[in-house]
Structure 1
Amino acid sequence: MQKYLRLLNLRLDVVVNDITGLAIIDTICKGEKNPETLAALRNGNCRKSATEIAKALHSNGRTDYLFALHQEYDIYKSLQQKIQQCGASIEELIKSFINADENKKKLKTDAKPHKRVNKNAPQNFDLNQIAYQYFNGIDLMAVEGVGHSTIIALMSEVGVDGLKKFDTAKWFARWLRLSTNNRVSGGRVLSHKIPKGSNRLKIALRNAANAISNLKDTHLSNFFKRIAFRRGRAAAISATARKLAIIIRDMVVKAIPYSPPAQYEFLDQKRKRKVLEMKRLIHKFNITTHDLGLQL
């Protein structure tokens, strides 16, 4: 449609970022040529004024291009109808799974108006409520960055039963190809690159990680910024996507809510880790206080 609009000298792409409002295109296909009449159909949220839009809508009147635009518009409407039918089928399938369990039917969650529903997400059902019931009362939408597309990808690619087949969250991240594949020979690490390959869930998690980068002062956004500062944005997206995969798997399998730490205590964490390492060494080599030269 944008191609034939340009050929008709209707430069909507210059003055409008998203043409899927379609009121102007629908009127053009019906034969309207007056720029002012067309510009008056602009969305109320449009930043450009009607006068500015009218300047970009002086058609050259080519009937062959208008016919082709009408054909593309009909195809677009047909595809949108198919997408709506697909959304209705998804809703029916998920609800049949939920209705088979009386405990799931009773579960209710809070509305999340801050989770925006974009134009590509299912419009005809409340995915927030359905996901809460589907995952047995685990509110995955509480995780920052996780949106409707992430939930749909998780349901369609693995589901609840699929997540439980992974013994650990690390194995789940490795299956998604978000973890490094260490090649070791003779005790020496030859390489530790992330394997190539992708799937829909990995793409959805990386998109969620990219959205997290725009948040301010949250657990995952701070993690993203620390990695990006040291290793760059590409590495930060992969690392955050892996962290999301681990969080989601543990929440579903272990039935625990999302509870990010309010603050970091790096020195205490390092101290605890070092103490555990020393205890293991002492136990392994049977080290005594006499060996260490300590006097108690």
Structure 2
Amino acid sequence: VLTLFGYDGLKKMLPQAELTANKRLELWSNQESVELKDATASMIFDLTAKKLISHDPEKSSENLRDNFVAFIQGLISFPFNIPGTAYHKCLQGREKAMKMLRNMLQERRKNPRKNPSDFFDYVIEEIQKEGTILTEEIALDLMFVLLFASFETTSLALTLAIKFLSDDPAVLKRLTEEHETILRNREDADSGLTWEEYKSMTYTFQFINETARLANIVPAIFRKALIDIKFKDYTIPAGWAVMVCPPAVHLNPDKYEDPLRFNPSRWEESKSNNASKHFMAFGGGMR
């Protein structure tokens, strides 16, 4: 996964992401209205699916994303597995999505590529290695989770980002000025976004962090205590499940002044954009 979405992978992916975003913006500009959450989810899913499994919805006879949507809509529902219920549709959506992914993987194994270019290629390489712990079922489960997490959380964050911008003209003005400055400094105004330009977007990153902090896209993170953990006057026994609640940190007035206020400038003094014990927008680990 890091091969595709790590530092080098993201640098290569930047032009494709920009092209996809520009095409969708042009499409939306010709519509009377846009259901933003659904539209951004569709854009991100298509981009991620193409990168991970080379899936092209225009060439597929089945709609992979529809199955994920059915899964999401019934993910938190009363567990009645009866036709017509949200829970039943959720199970059916996952089953159909897994079947499509399994067929894609098996087809790729029959006709492998010479040069790995997506996740399936790397999975096939790993499965064929001696002593590997990766099985086809584990790989398919991982693929399902990656596709689900990538488009659902990011589309929610983007939708809320637009909401915050529409409510705060001053932030929109400053963000616009930063991007217009980048455009003015280009030798070729029509050239695509470069990695250096992307990394220079100081206020943009502050805006993203503040959006993620207030959005609390992942309201709970579950972990397992591997050993007994002492916390104040309590002991969390080894083997117990632990639920971490990021909003409790992100909205803590001891950590963030006026925590309910949308204020990207609060990140000016921050030395890191990565996850920490005070900022875990999408969970722990590198983002």
Q: Same fold (TM over 0.5)?
A: no
TM-score by length of 1: 0.28
Higher relative contact order (CA 8 A, sep 6+): 2
TM-score by length of 2: 0.28
